[in-house]
Structure 1
């Protein structure tokens, strides 16, 4: 395309294909999980790399622990499980969501480029009609 939208469209389309491919591979991968515990194992939590808590286990003996300490222990176990699930502390990437954002960006940018090109064409037509 002579108006420059072809290069942008091709680049965004390539990014979409790559992200769609990564999203498909990401969905097929086994989810990463992590476990954390506190109060000498009385509280145990399992979390996924996506930041979801799968389960919380509280030993009945934890019933003797004051509620404020139990709440702190649950928080500690959740944070430990999330840290383990995320590996090196890197944030998990949702390739499906990222692909959707790129798709939306491509659609929006192409509409904006078409409006801009139309406005330029109209301005050029007006300039050509002046005496």
Structure 2
């Protein structure tokens, strides 16, 4: 403590124990409260960044699948299976410009006449994990 001489009407710090400073216990409690508030916020930021990346990957895969289904809509009905990786033993084909995604297309004749069910499955090329699957029906009504 610093010694201060007595001034008229004022006392030294030694005479006034409540001098308005913080005790060690108060500082530790304030630090604990601050840490208790910051840790969940940091956890939310970390999970938020991961969820954003997963959403971006899912949206990219969805757009690629929709684009491939649109290509198949423009093909003649009789040639839907031609040149597409439909064999389950065949490795999935990568998307042009997106090597991190691969796809496999399945075309099945439906029980109804002139109707084919087309399913496209999108995979993560690194892990071979299926990301999503889209299905459409294509008919030949001529």
Same fold, TM exceeding 0.5?
A: no
Q: Hey, which of these two has a bigger chunk of strand by percent?
A: 2
Q: Which has the larger radius of gyration?
A: 2
- TM-score normalised by structure 1 residue count: 0.30
- TM-score normalised by structure 2 residue count: 0.29
Higher relative contact order (CA 8 A, sep 6+): 1
